[in-house]
Amino acid sequence: SQTIHQWPATLVQPVGSPLSLECTVEGTSNPNLYWYRQAAGRGLQLLFYSVGIGQISSEVPQNLSASRPQDRQFILSSKKLLLSDSGFYLCAWRPGGRPQETQYFGPGTRLLVL
């Protein structure tokens, strides 16, 4: 069966510090991968998605970036965090890019920028 991991589970970082969040998927190959952010009490905002190694699509301009160095690894990064980067970050995968496919979400990372 497929499993999705995210780490760390929680993170407190000072403004201006770098960020690296990691997501890995097990039990599948060539998945579509997604990074979402959920601000407190708000909905899901799609940040990035990837259909393959090295292929990243950005949904919103911001100081975050994403990379996919391996088939089942998706990394969210920042060189300098802002207060507004605080939130709950969710990684998700689906088997392909078809709209009828269910997305499966990881446990998330709670990021607090102070």
- Give CA–CA dist 39/79, Å, rounded: 20
Q: Which residue is it, tokens 């088997």? A: 95
Query: Is 1 among the residues that bind other proteins (CB under 8 A)?
Result: no
Query: Is 90 among the residues that bind other proteins (CB under 8 A)?
Result: yes
Cβ proximity to other proteins: between 14 and 102 the closer is 102
Q: Which stretch binds other proteins (CB under 8 A): 11-19, 21-29, 74-82, 98-106?
A: 98-106
**Pairing state of beta strands 109-113 and 10-13?**
parallel
Cβ proximity to other proteins: between 75 and 92 the closer is 92
Cβ 64 vs Cβ 81: under 8 Å: no
Site for other proteins in 17-46 (CB under 8 A): 32, 34, 41-44, 46
Dihedral sign, Cα of residue 67, residue 58, residue 87, residue 19: positive
Q: Which stretch binds other proteins (CB under 8 A): 14-22, 23-31, 75-83, 85-93?
A: 85-93
